[in-house]
Amino acid sequence: MTDRPAPSSAARTQVRPVDAAGLVLLRGSPGRPEVLMGRRPKRASFLPDIYVFPGGRLDDGDRRPSGFPERLDGALARQLAVGNRRRDSMPLLRAALRETFEETGLLLAADAHVREACDAPAIWQAFAALGRRPAFEKMDFVARAITPVSSPRRFNTRFFMADGGEMAGTLLGDGELEDLAWRPVERMWRMALVDVTEFVLREALQRWQARTAIGSRPAPLFCYVNDTARVRPEAHKRRA
């Protein structure tokens, strides 16, 4: 038997990415859109002092139904199934709405007659208190991004987008994002952004300006090969 070389230290310490979700919120006219973003604190262990969209990793609670009707476009569901080991993609959308509510105080809501659910998680209580429901059907899937293999913290993130003009609530988050504000997109190119954020913002902006129908445009995969950024069409990818 031929001896195999010992795995490198990089291979031994490779971190498996965890599921995460983010939400890009754009509002205004196609010619002068605004985007909602905030800056991660300097003390943050991941992307410190960088401007990002609201979002974060999935929690256990995201895997449980919201208690509201959960409508998802068929084409969107098929896109989300790519690279998703779970058959149910709803936890990703729930996580995006929950993280957005926690970090910004805003809710993507639709009219509905609902009763207050006192024992539900805070995000769903907030919808119920407004007498409205989560508007899952108004979320489009913009892109999937996977953190480089060399990173000590890795995420398999699905970025969604929605119309910021339809958000309910008052802009006031939990402090996780500093300098949180609506800003003209043109200003953001001069802010501290990482490559994946720039890519996702451009993808979302193109859809916003073209008024692309939800689910009609495939979401690409933004990943890294030997720490070099690559963009691949998810429609051609069968496994994560």
Mean pLDDT of 178-198: 96
Mean pLDDT of 207-217: 93
pLDDT at 230: 92
Higher pLDDT, 179 or 227: 179
The domains found in the chain, sorted by start residue, are 31-236 (3.90.79.10)
pLDDT digits (tens, 9 = 90+) for 75-109: 888 899 887 766 689 999 999 999 999 999 999 99
Mean pLDDT of 181-203: 96
Mean pLDDT of 164-193: 94
Q: Is the pLDDT of residue 217 over 90?
A: yes
pLDDT at 187: 96
Q: What is the pTM of this model?
A: 0.89
The band of 134, judged by pLDDT with boundaries at 50, 70 and 90, is: very high
Q: Is the pLDDT of residue 10 over 50?
A: no
The band of 201, judged by pLDDT with boundaries at 50, 70 and 90, is: very high
> Whose CA is closest to 52, among 205, 157, 180, 185?
180
Residue 7 CA: distances (Å) to CA of 81, 138, 139, 148, 153: 32, 46, 42, 18, 20
Crossing angle of the two packed helices 90-104 and 122-130, in degrees rounded to 10 = 80
pLDDT digits (tens, 9 = 90+) for 41-83: 988 878 889 999 999 999 999 999 999 999 888 888 889 988 7
Higher pLDDT, 118 or 184: 184
Can you tell me which residue has the tokens 């995420």?
155
Q: Which of 49-53, 114-118, 127-131 has the lowest mean pLDDT?
A: 114-118
pLDDT at 117: 60
Mean pLDDT of 27-53: 91
The single-letter DSSP state of residue 228 is E
Environment class of residue 84 by beta-carbon count within 10 Å: exposed (0-12), middle (13-18) or buried (19+)?
Answer: middle
CA atoms within 13 A on the CB side of 10: 6
